[in-house]
Amino acid sequence: MPTSLHWHCFVRPTGFFLLAFLISSSILGAETPVAIALHGGAGTIERDTMSSELEATYRAFLNDAVSEGYRQLRESQSGLDVVVSIIQLMEDSPLFNAGHGAVYTWEGTHELDASIMHGEDLDAGAVAGVRTVRSPIALARAVMEESPHVMLAGSGAEAFALERGFDVVPPEYFATDRRRKALEAFKADERASLKPEADHKFGTVGVVALDETGNLVAGTSTGGMTGKRWGRIGDSPVIGAGTYADNRSCAVSATGHGEYFIRHTVARDICARMQFSAATLGEAARTVVMEELVRADGEGGVIAVDPSGSVALVFNTPGMYRASIDAAGRKVVGIYGESETP
């Protein structure tokens, strides 16, 4: 009898632990969701104004960049590392208005802005008006991780970069014929100083990601608006306007006419609608971009991802350079309007 009792007591816990082990193994064996989305700017981007060669170049870059970001996430890299890595690819390309491809100010210089935010603890970093830092998004991350501040600007941000050993480049690094011609065209218009953008292209770049640990991260980098004056700063480095991430709701990166995105705190508004009114990611993004901004005559778009790995790519302009891979592995690469792809 004692032997039987001993065996009975032994089997039941063992069975329980075996069941627990099988359940945990099943859970651990399942792929955790990851997702990524990126944009290269929104605006008057129309098929009949772009050569087939240039379109193919943009599509190939967007496809390669989003695939690389997704690969990194699947290899368990952190969302912070992935967002910075993919934005740096875009900053190094002359295709986009960020880093190497940045537009010119009215005075013929370059002033770069960037920001990044981590959704787990709402940590954030930003830089504005930097002129010699090759990767503004990397500097924004350093502000977040290595300083007690959220935003540094101008000469102070440059000094911080030098102290931290950042890669600085001469002004010529940012010079491209394409952007110089855009400035010349802008200045040729007698009303240029009153217009927000000569060709209505808002060429910011941004990436949002959900990593394997469930953290959401958003980052944005830009050269601002062609012909900007007086140290103008748009929404890209403004946390809550051009960039926001909160694990309780979503991660957002915006592109558009920055003054409107600042006034309407676009990125934060989308997250807040999810957090406090139970809106889905798509509902929140569409309400803000297609209703609130349109009502105010604000042009632009957003990319966003939520904790489940759902993605939203929403814009109220003719086009937005964009790509995404959601938690189900569905890939989207697009340039033009909604009739093309999501």
Which residues are known catalytic residues? 204
- The residue assigned the tokens 């502000």 is 143
- As a whole number of angstroms, the distance between CA 321 and CA 40 comes to 5
Q: Give the DSSP H or E segment for 215.
A: none
Q: Could you give the maximum distance between any two Cα atoms of the chain, in Å?
A: 103
Quick one: CA dihedral 270, 95, 238, 72, positive or negative? positive
Contact 315, 300 (CB under 8 A): yes
Contact 142, 163 (CB under 8 A): no
Q: Is 60 helix (H, G, I), strand (E, B) or coil?
A: helix
Backbone angles phi, psi at 315, to 5 degrees: -150, 150
Return the exposure string of 23-49: e unless at least 16 CB atoms fall within 10 Å of the residue's CB, then b.
eeeeeeeeebbbbbbbbbbbbebeeee
Cα dihedral: 117, 118, 122, 126 (round 10): -20
DSSP assignment of 99-121: GGGPPP-TTS---EEEEEEETTT
Q: Is 70 helix (H, G, I), strand (E, B) or coil?
A: helix
Q: How far is CA 171 from CA 100, 119, 150, in A?
A: 10, 34, 26
Closest CA to 125 of 220, 250, 40: 220
